[in-house]
Every structure is written in structure tokens, then in C-alpha cells.
Amino acid sequence: MSIDGWKLKRLDEIGDIYSGSTPSTTKSTFWDGDIVWVTPNDFSQLNTPYLATSGKKITPQGLKSCSAHILPPGSIILSSRAPIGYIAINTVECCTNQGCKSFWLKPEYNAEFVYYNLKFNINKIKNLGEGTTFAEISKTALSKVEMLFLEDKKEQEKIAAVLSTIDLTIAQTEAIIAKQQRIKTGLMQDLLTKGIDENGNIRSEKTHEFKDSLLGRIPVEWESNNLSQSFSITPRNGIYKPANQIGRGTLLIGQTSFTKDRLIDYTLARRAVITETELRLYHLQEEDILITRVFATVDGVGLPTFVSDLPEEAVYESNMLRLRINKDIILPKLLFYWLQSAQARRYIFTSVNASNQTSINQMVLNNLPIPIPPQKEQERLLQILEKDIYFLMRETSLRRKQALIKTGLMQDLLTGKVRVTELLKDIDL
């Protein structure tokens, strides 16, 4: 098979393939040396294509004692079990354990190009996984995998340069998101436990008066109550609908429609046949808060989701609890952020029922202590939090767009559909 400069190649045609090995773990002289010895676990720490070190290292004696091979820098290392599919380019001489397969590439292949081509075709490799205990791909099976490879090395390098550039852009955006997430966590903790004074400064016990409360020490201007004292109506568990009533009718909001930002993507919601009485009892309105009542793991229990921008009438599923808040006591959006705070989560974690399924009940939420700053301060706190969170959401959205661009580029450039020379007419690489 040939597509204008591309040829179908077996993976053993692009370089020599090696399996890894492990020295005896009972011989101390084989370990804690200077030779980088890569295992699948080392890939999980990478956020670039490049691997320069390993969690464990072996000695020359350890290397001689087993069948591992030293690989030159610029080889390709693939995890072949637990799990299959991690890929990296080594930047230093190294060897691997038996959970990896490695390619000592022929000189006509660019390492970065091969890396991206393997990533693009990784499902071909994963589908060959064998083993009754865990999936694994053998050297023999890997050798027989066929992929399209570009023959012109200079064009390989240009494709790799384009994809490396978008990867670098994505990595920079992810670094910004990680930094902003740390800032957000710290800011929420400060704002929701200390607040801000009339000058816009975060309070401190060194400069402001604090008092004891259900939450511990809080500013003297604040109150603290149990969550039950902020409800405008009694919380209600959601509605269960059998399968024969799903697929048509009213929007039925479930956990699968929640975004990472704890908002609702209504396009992912199901529909169900709902009676007028059920709509009256279980309807959602703007600024309701849905609490995850039942979840597979403790981490997911008690998380809030904020209801906003309702496109039409909607109800919610039985594995959630609806809170409707008295805005004269606390602003619903501020409470939404408080319910995500470390202090609130700790309280919920200690109250989770894990006997049959991981869950919480209404009594747990009723007794959850919450801070109640003065209304004007609540507005100021919310304004600061929203500004910071808007920036984080904007960067997260940008990260998603960059990932889509990368996917499109890989689809175009690694199939021969679009030639990189056409794409780069006006770009100097």
C-alpha cells in the first residue's frame, strides 16, 4: 500500500525491537547503580514525550545478569503491559524491564515522527494485547503490526516539528491551569474562612477580631449556622424513572451531564415521561444546588452542582438531593463554592455511609456548618471568586480547543491526507 510517499511498514522494519528484563531483586549488588532502568510506572510521571530518568536504577553487574539491552538516546520505548500504550523517547542511555518493548530506530526514521505515529495508531497495538491475568503484547505480535510511514525524513521532521509545537502550547496551558488551580484552592480557603475587610484585604487574627464558632475561628462580623437553616424549602431527593419511561419528555438531569466545573451540560441530559405532580415536586430552577447523594467512590459523594441557564423545564434523578437556598441568608453561588471547600469536604467524608453503597443522607447535609458573612461582604467575596474561576475556566476551554486542533493535525498529517509542505508554505520551521 502506498500513498504519495507513504508506505505500509511492519514495525520490525523501522528498527530493531527489544524486550526488557529484570535483574534478581535479591542481589543488592544489582541495584542502586547509575543505569536508567525504565518500567511502565516511569511513564505515568511524564508530561512530555521525553524520558530522562527512572525510579529505579541498576548496576553494570545487574545489566550483565539479565537479558536487558542498553538503548541509545533517541530510541522509542513502549509499555507493553500494565498498561499497554505509554510511549516515550529516551534522552539518555537506558534499558527497560519486561513490561516494555523498545525500538532502536533505523537512521532513516525521525524519533519524534515515530513517536507521534505510534501514538496516532496506538489502538492497533492495544488490540493485540494478550494474557489471561492482564493484557500484554509480545515482541512477535508487535513486530507484525503494520502502519503507514512517510519515507522522506525531512518531511518526517517537519511533521514532528508541527506536532511538537502544539504539544508545547498545550503543556504551557496546562501549567497555567495547574498554577491557577493552586491559587484558586488557596484563595477559596482564605476567602471562605477569613473573608475580606472593607479595604478589600483578607482578614488575619493579627489585625482583626475573630471568634469561636461551629467552624472554628471566624471573623466577628460573621455568623455560622447549620446548612438546614439556609433552606428556602425542604431538600428533596430526586426522582426514579424506569427504563420504559426514558428517552422522551422532560429533561432529566443526571450525574453524567455534570461538567468538571460542576455545572450542567444540558446536551448530555436524558429525557423522561414526567407527570404534572412530579414536575411540581422535582422541578429545577435557577440557582438550585444539586448534591451527589450516591456515588461509586467517596470522593464523588456530596459534591455540589450549580443549576444555571436552564434551557427548559427540567427535573433531576434520584441519586441527587436538591437544595434551594434562602438568598437573604447566603448567596447560593457562594454556598456552592463553600460546599467544594476543603473544610466542607472533610466534614462530608467523615459522615459518608459506605455499608452498601457510598452515600450521604439529608441529615448529614442539615448538620453541615456553613459560614454566613454579612450580605455586602458575600457579594464582594463572590465577585473575587468568580473573577478567578472565570480565568481558570477560560484556560480550561482553551486547553480543550488545543487538544482538538492537535487531533485534527494528527489525522491530517499522519495519514498523508494533508502534506506538511502545503501546510507550512508560509511558516519557517
Confidence of residue 420 (pLDDT cuts 50, 70, 90): confident
Residue 426: predicted pLDDT: 47
Contacts with 334 (C-beta within 8 Å, 6 or more apart), sequence order: 378, 381, 382, 385
Residue 425: predicted pLDDT: 54
- For residues 15-27, give the mean pLDDT: 96
Residue 356: predicted pLDDT: 59
pLDDT tens, residue by residue, 142-163: 999 999 999 999 999 999 999 9
Residue 254: which of 300, 290, 299, 280 has the closest Cα? 290
User: Percentage of the chain with pLDDT > 70?
Assistant: 95
Q: Looking at the predicted structure, is the pLDDT value of residue 427 above 50? A: no
pLDDT tens, residue by residue, 4-13: 889 999 999 9
What is the rounded distance in angstroms from the CA atom of residue 262 to the CA atom of residue 352?
20
What is the rounded distance in angstroms from the CA atom of residue 290 to the CA atom of residue 283?
12
Confidence of residue 250 (pLDDT cuts 50, 70, 90): very high
Confidence of residue 424 (pLDDT cuts 50, 70, 90): low
Residue 222: predicted pLDDT: 96
- For residues 244-257, give the mean pLDDT: 94
Residue 176: CB atoms within 10 A of its CB come to: 16
pLDDT tens, residue by residue, 309-358: 999 999 999 999 999 999 999 999 999 999 999 889 988 888 777 665 67
Contacts with 270 (C-beta within 8 Å, 6 or more apart), sequence order: 246, 247, 251, 252, 254
Residue 428: predicted pLDDT: 46
Beta-strand relationship, 84-90 and 50-51: parallel
Residue 354: predicted pLDDT: 65
Higher pLDDT, residue 301 or 252: 252
**Beta pairing partners, 410:** none
Confidence of residue 2 (pLDDT cuts 50, 70, 90): low
Q: What is the mean pLDDT of the chain?
A: 90
Confidence of residue 131 (pLDDT cuts 50, 70, 90): low
Side-chain-side CA neighbours of residue 285 (13 Å): 9
Residue 368: predicted pLDDT: 92
- For residues 78-105, give the mean pLDDT: 94
Q: Looking at the predicted structure, is the pLDDT value of residue 167 above 80? A: yes
Residue 58: CB atoms within 10 A of its CB come to: 25
Q: Tell me if 319 sits within 8 A of 290, measured CB to CB.
A: no
What is the rounded distance in angstroms from the CA atom of residue 324 to the CA atom of residue 321?
10
Q: Tell me if 350 sits within 8 A of 344, measured CB to CB.
A: no
Residue 429: predicted pLDDT: 42
Residue 74: which of 37, 102, 96, 99 has the closest Cα? 102
Whose grid coordinates read 453503597? Answer: 357
Q: Looking at the predicted structure, is the pLDDT value of residue 130 above 70? A: no
What is the rounded distance in angstroms from the CA atom of residue 148 to the CA atom of residue 68?
29
Q: Tell me if 321 sits within 8 A of 369, measured CB to CB.
A: no
The domains of the chain, with CATH numbers, are 2-151 (3.90.220.20), 223-372 (3.90.220.20)
- For residues 39-57, give the mean pLDDT: 91
Residue 132: predicted pLDDT: 44
Residue 2: CB atoms within 10 A of its CB come to: 10
Whose grid coordinates read 505515568? Answer: 44
List the grid coordinates of 152.
522522506
pLDDT tens, residue by residue, 356-397: 567 888 888 899 999 999 999 999 999 999 888 888 888 988
DSSP state of 54: -
- For residues 45-65, give the mean pLDDT: 93
Q: What are the DSSP calls for 73-130, one per residue?
A: TT-EEEEEBSSEEEEEEESS-EEE-TTEEEEEE-TTS-HHHHHHHHHHTHHHHHTT-B
